[in-house]
Amino acid sequence: MLFKQQALLRQKLFLLGSLAIGSLLYLVARVGSLDRLQPLCPIDGRFGPRGQDEIPLRALQFKRGLLHEFRKGNATKEQVRLHNLVQQLPKAIIIGVRKGGTRALLEMLNLHPAVVKASQEIHFFDNDENYAKGIEWYRKKMPFSYPHQITIEKSPAYFITEEVPERIYKMNSSIKLLIIVREPTTRAISDYTQVLEGKERKNKTYYKFEKLAIDPNTCEVNTKYKAVRTSIYTKHLERWLKYFPIEQFHIVDGDRLITEPLPELQLVEKFLNLPPRISQYNLYFNATRGFYCLRFNIVFNKCLAGSKGRIHPEVDTSVINKLRKFFHPFNQKFYQITGRTFNWP
């Protein structure tokens, strides 16, 4: 009996020893694999020497959680101080154009861990009442961020408002400016469609696009119609160039951003001097919506509002052709100034 008990004890000790040795070997192998994976750290080595221009690793951990709470106003001053968070003036602004894809561009850039977006259009520089409140009021409208992150806001009315270039220049003469454009006639019709939808929601009647875009007295393009004026991109850009060199602008192809967003986003990353972080993993096509949605991680996805991608009303072909002919010389000049050519008719 004693012999059997001793044999069972030795067997148990042997099994325990084997498990201990196996666990130790696994840990050694695991540490080795982690060492090999270390160079793939998504932050390491991308922002200069460690401790100088590097974004803290915790920035990624808090970006979707903690910063969201701060944006909702749920943070205490102590929490803000503890996490070294600040409200920074934007280092880049999406200044236009309306119905060019400004919201889509802002949301897609927000995929980058070094970018923090202002969720709402601030309308600081184009609104006299807001502008009179001063630069600190504007700063307080910005989201909380880490010092090495870039804050970006978008207000498409900036592009066409005469006072805005000088006002932004006075704030920051070296700021980076993003302009997203679409084929001018398509953009004008999209502009009209948004206004039309608003009228219909209020049970109001509205003129057809053709009657607004074409002057009935001359049968020529009505340049007093705002949707038409906004699409004359070169006229507005020339006003901005009185204050900023062309190198401080980046032109985004809004039509391509819809069909093939990644190459456009990679160009913006380069313009903003950001390390490449946005990949095809972050963008997936939603067949129901008909455009790309955003994937931040394995649990958090986001599609743009259902109002995006409105169906345009049918427009008389002769009016479309007249508009395209009208915009053509302005488009050619826009290509020449910006150095970017589009296949617009």
List, as residue ranges, the binding site: 99-103, 182, 190, 292, 308-312
Tell me which residue of 27, 61, 25, 26 sits closest to 42, measured CA to CA: 61
Q: Tokens at residue 60, please?
A: 């990624």
Is the distance from CB of 322 to CB of 225 less than 8 angstroms? no
Residue type, 14: F
List, as residue ranges, the binding site for 3'-phosphoadenylyl sulfate: 99-103, 182, 190, 292, 308-312
Please name the residue that has the structure tokens 């455009």: 291
Spatial distance between the Cα atoms of 123 and 101, rounded to a whole number of angstroms: 17
Question: Is 99 assigned a catalytic role?
Answer: yes
Helix, coil or strand: residue 159:
helix
Phi, psi of 196, deg, nearest 5: -60, -45
Is the distance from CB of 222 to CB of 215 less than 8 angstroms? yes
Q: Tokens at residue 160, please?
A: 């066409």
Query: 225-231 contacts: CB < 8 A, separation 24 or more?
Result: 226/191, 227/188, 227/189, 227/191, 227/192, 227/195, 228/188, 228/323, 229/160, 230/97, 230/98, 230/159, 230/160, 230/187, 230/188, 230/191, 231/97, 231/184, 231/185, 231/187, 231/188, 231/327
| Catalytic annotation, pick one of 63, 99, 117, 176 | 99
Please name the residue that has the structure tokens 């509205």: 206
- The H-or-E segment that residue 252 falls in is strand 249-253
Is the distance from CB of 106 to CB of 94 less than 8 angstroms? yes
Catalytic residues: 99
